[in-house]
Homo-oligomer: A and B are copies of this chain.
Amino acid sequence: MVDDMRERMILIENISHLVRDAHRVEHDVDVLIEGNRIVRIGQVTSQEITLETIVIDGRGRIVTPGFVNAHTHLYQSMLKGRRDDVPLVSWCEEVTFPFVRNVLRRMREGSVGEIGYLWSMLGTIEMIRSGITTFIDMDMNLPGVPQAWAEMGIRGIAAMSMVDQWVPDDLITTPERLREETLKLIEDWHQMPSEDPLVQVFLGPSAPFTCSEGLLTWIMETAERYDLGIQTHVSETEWEVQHSLETVGKTPLSYLESIGFLSRPILAVHGVHLTDKEIELAKNRSVTVVYNPKSNMKLGSGIAPITKMRQVGVNVAMGTDGAASNDLLDPFEEMRTGVLLQKVAAMDPTALDARDIFASATAVGAAACRVDAGTIDEGRLADLVIMDPSAPHMFNLSDDIIPALVYCAKGSDVETVIINGRIVMRDRTITTIDEKAIIREVKKIGESYG
C-alpha cells in the first residue's frame, strides 16, 4: 500500500489559505506532491502533472502543516471516562495501574491478543480526525502497536517506556528482559517500513525518579549507538521535585545534567516545575520541553512556565498526554487551552500568542520528533491537513488565518489528511482502514479487560 504511492502525484490547487508556517500564509496557490515529498508550491501548470495525478480542489480551504502530538500514551484511549476528578495517586492506583497490570499479566501468559493493535487504531483514528500526522507514544512494548501505525499510514514514534524503581514490582520488567525487548523493538521497527519509513523508536525512561542511574546510562549509550531520540517525564509535580531533592539532592533536570544525560537532545515532558536555572539549562542543552496543558490542569499538577521558557528561547513542543488525563487527542483544543492558560497565569493577554503555540504544534514538534515536516516547503515530507472553514464557528473575515486556527478551529473542520504523500483521510473518511469495524473490535476487547 505504501509502494504504489511512490510514483503517485497529488495536486492541491487554488488553495485559499496556505499556512506554510506560523508566520507565512499565502493565498490562491497550488501545492504539488510527488511520492512522499512536496515538490512545488506556486502556480502548477498542467505540464507538471500526469494523467494519474490526484487533484484536490483547495478553493475555500485552509491547508496547514500536519500537527505534531509530541507526547501521548495511546493505551489510555481505552480508559476514557473510567474515573475522573480524583488525585494523581488514586488515579494511578484505580485507573492506569490495574489496566497496565492486566495487560502485562496477559502478555506474560501469551494471551494479550490484539489489544495493543486495537488501542493504537482507536487513538490514531481520533488523532487523524483532528489533523495530527506525527506523534510520540510513550508506552508498553506491545505486539501490534507499530503495526497499527504502519497500516493506518500515520507517523508514529514508539518511545519505549522504561522503569526499574519506584513503581509496584509487578509493573517492572527485569533489566535483562527490558534491554532485550528494547533492542528487538529497535531492530523490528526503527525507521520502518524500510521502503518508506513511518515508524521510529525513541527511548522513554518514564521519569528520572523511576529509573536507576544504571538504566539511564544504558539508555544514553543505546541512544548514541542507534542514533535515537529520547523522551522522559520531567518535573510534572511538586512532589516529584521534592522527592528528587530528597533522594539525589538535585531537582530533576539538574540531576539529568549531572549524570551527563543531556549530552544528546531530549524531549522533557511537562517541565511544570522547572526552576529558572533549569530553564537556562534547557536552552543551553538541546532540551525540547513538551507542554501538555490540559493534562497538567486535570491532574492539578500546575502551570508550566512556558511564557518564560519562550522568552528565554527554550524550544517548546505540544502534547496531549494520554486520554485518561486529558481526555482528547485534539491539537486545536490543546493549542487553545495552552495559550489561554499562559495568558491567565501571567494576567496578561499578550503572554504567549497564537503564532507561538502554532509553531509548537507544528515546526518545533516536528524537529524534536526528527521528522522533516512541520512546515510546507518544497523538498519537505508531505504531511499536511486540508480544512474546511465554512462552519459558523470559523466565521472569519481576516486574511491572517493563524489566530483563527488557534482560537476558533475544531477537529471537525479537518477534511483531508495527507501523511508521507499518502491520503489517509479524504473528505472525513479514513481511507487506509475500516474505521467502523475497528471501533466494534475495540469495544469488544475493552469490555473483556473490565
A residues lining the B interface (CB < 8 Å): 77-78, 80-82, 84-88, 91, 122, 125-126, 129-130, 238, 294, 296-303, 326-330, 333, 336-337, 340-341, 343-344, 346-351, 353-354, 390-398, 400-401, 403-404, 406-408, 410-412, 435, 439, 442-443, 446-447
Bound: A247/B297 CA distance, A: 37
Which residues on B sit within 8 Å (CB–CB) of A122?
A: 392, 395
Contact A397 B81 (CB under 8 A): yes
Which residues on B sit within 8 Å (CB–CB) of A81?
A: 396-398, 400-401, 403-404, 407-408
Contact A80 B408 (CB under 8 A): yes
A–B pairs, 12, beta carbons within 8 Å: A78-B395, A84-B406, A85-B349, A85-B354, A86-B349, A130-B393, A297-B340, A300-B344, A300-B350, A303-B344, A333-B336, A397-B446
Which residues on B sit within 8 Å (CB–CB) of A298?
A: 340, 343, 349, 407
Contact B393 A411 (CB under 8 A): yes
Bound: A329/B330 CA distance, A: 18
Q: How many protomers of this protein does the assembly include?
A: 2
Nearest to A303 among chain B residues (CB) is B344
Contact B129 A391 (CB under 8 A): yes
Q: Of B300, B340, B410, which one neighbours A294 at CB under 8 angstroms?
A: B340
Contact B297 A344 (CB under 8 A): yes
Nearest to A447 among chain B residues (CB) is B397
Nearest to A352 among chain B residues (CB) is B85
Contact B296 A344 (CB under 8 A): yes
Nearest to A343 among chain B residues (CB) is B300
Query: Smallest CB–CB gap between A436 and chain B, Å?
Result: 9
Known contacts A297-B340, A299-B349: A408-B85 contact under CB 8 Å: no
Contact A87 B341 (CB under 8 A): no
Known contacts A298-B343, A344-B301: A77-B410 contact under CB 8 Å: no
Contact A85 B350 (CB under 8 A): yes
Contact B349 A91 (CB under 8 A): yes
Bound: A151/B430 CA distance, A: 38
Query: Smallest CB–CB gap between A346 and chain B, Å?
Result: 7
Q: Of B82, B408, B435, which one neighbours A398 at CB under 8 angstroms?
A: B82
Known: A80-B404, A91-B349, A410-B412. 7 other contacts (CB 8 A): A296-B344, A300-B350, A302-B344, A326-B407, A392-B435, A397-B446, A410-B410
Known contacts A81-B408, A353-B85, A401-B81: A328-B297 contact under CB 8 Å: no
Bound: A303/B336 CA distance, A: 17
Query: Smallest CB–CB gap between A123 and chain B, Å?
Result: 8
Contact A340 B343 (CB under 8 A): no
Query: Smallest CB–CB gap between A350 and chain B, Å?
Result: 6
Contact A407 B84 (CB under 8 A): yes
Known contacts A300-B344, A410-B410: A88-B349 contact under CB 8 Å: yes
Closest 7 CB pairs of A and B: A297-B340, A412-B412, A85-B353, A297-B344, A300-B349, A81-B404, A81-B396
Bound: A103/B81 CA distance, A: 46
Contact A349 B87 (CB under 8 A): yes
Contact A126 B392 (CB under 8 A): yes
Query: Smallest CB–CB gap between A423 and chain B, Å?
Result: 19
Query: Smallest CB–CB gap between A448 and chain B, Å?
Result: 11
